């Protein structure tokens, strides 16, 4: 299935994102971080995203309910069709300057380019389904789910988690 990670390949250019709090970065690094004075943790973004993608492909994209929900979005295509035919490029969202976890979204999409926050990876370490929920939410935006945090369809992307088997990860505050 066509998933590409921004790991420095020539075919991949970083989209210009008009943000003062984050930038798109490469997925091929391994990060060792100390959180709140605790022990050092290590995260492997490439493996986490690949595992999440596989979970979505093996479970969500094979579900009639999930594919049916995706067909109700603006592109009117199933999740399985999008995953098989569209080349989505994933980038790592990292903070600029002194910005923190609270300043970054868990994910952000710009067309076929999808950014997943370093902090989403920290939260999702050891929980493939949690990471899959974040990735699926962003794929739903690509499929046409609203990005308006205040409109009637503010939870359209997050609502994709319910028919796609990831209901325990639904977040009523993940609007737009």
Per the CB < 8 A criterion, the answer to whether 117 and 104 are in contact is yes
Per the CB < 8 A criterion, the answer to whether 7 and 89 are in contact is no
| Highest mean pLDDT: which range of 39-43, 49-53, 109-113, 148-152 | 49-53
Average confidence (pLDDT) over 32-60: 88
Q: Indicate if the pLDDT at residue 128 is higher than 70.
A: yes
Across the chain, mean pLDDT equals 85
| pLDDT of res. 3 | 56
* Token pair belonging to 151: 């409109």
Residue 14: burial class (beta carbons within 10 Å; 0-12, 13-18, 19+): middle
């Amino acid at each position: 299935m066509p998933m590409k990670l921004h790991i420095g390949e020539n075919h991949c250019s970083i989209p210009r994102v008009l943000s003062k709090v984050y930038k798109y970065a490469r997925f091929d690094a391994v990060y060792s971080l100390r959180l709140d004075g605790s022990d050092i943790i290590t995260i492997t973004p490439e493996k986490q995203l690949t595992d999440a993608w596989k979970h979505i492909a093996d479970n969500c994209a094979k579900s009639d309910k999930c594919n049916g929900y995706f067909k109700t979005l603006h592109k009117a295509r199933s999740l399985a069709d999008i995953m098989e035919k569209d080349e989505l490029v994933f980038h790592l969202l990292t903070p600029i300057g002194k910005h923190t976890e609270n300043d970054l979204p868990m994910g952000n999409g710009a067309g076929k380019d999808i950014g997943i926050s370093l902090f989403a990876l920290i939260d999702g370490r050891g929980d493939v389904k949690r990471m899959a929920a974040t990735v699926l939410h962003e794929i739903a935006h690509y499929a046409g789910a609203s990005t308006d945090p205040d409109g009637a369809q503010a939870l359209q992307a997050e609502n994709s988690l319910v028919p796609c088997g990831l209901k325990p990860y639904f977040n009523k505050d993940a609007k737009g």
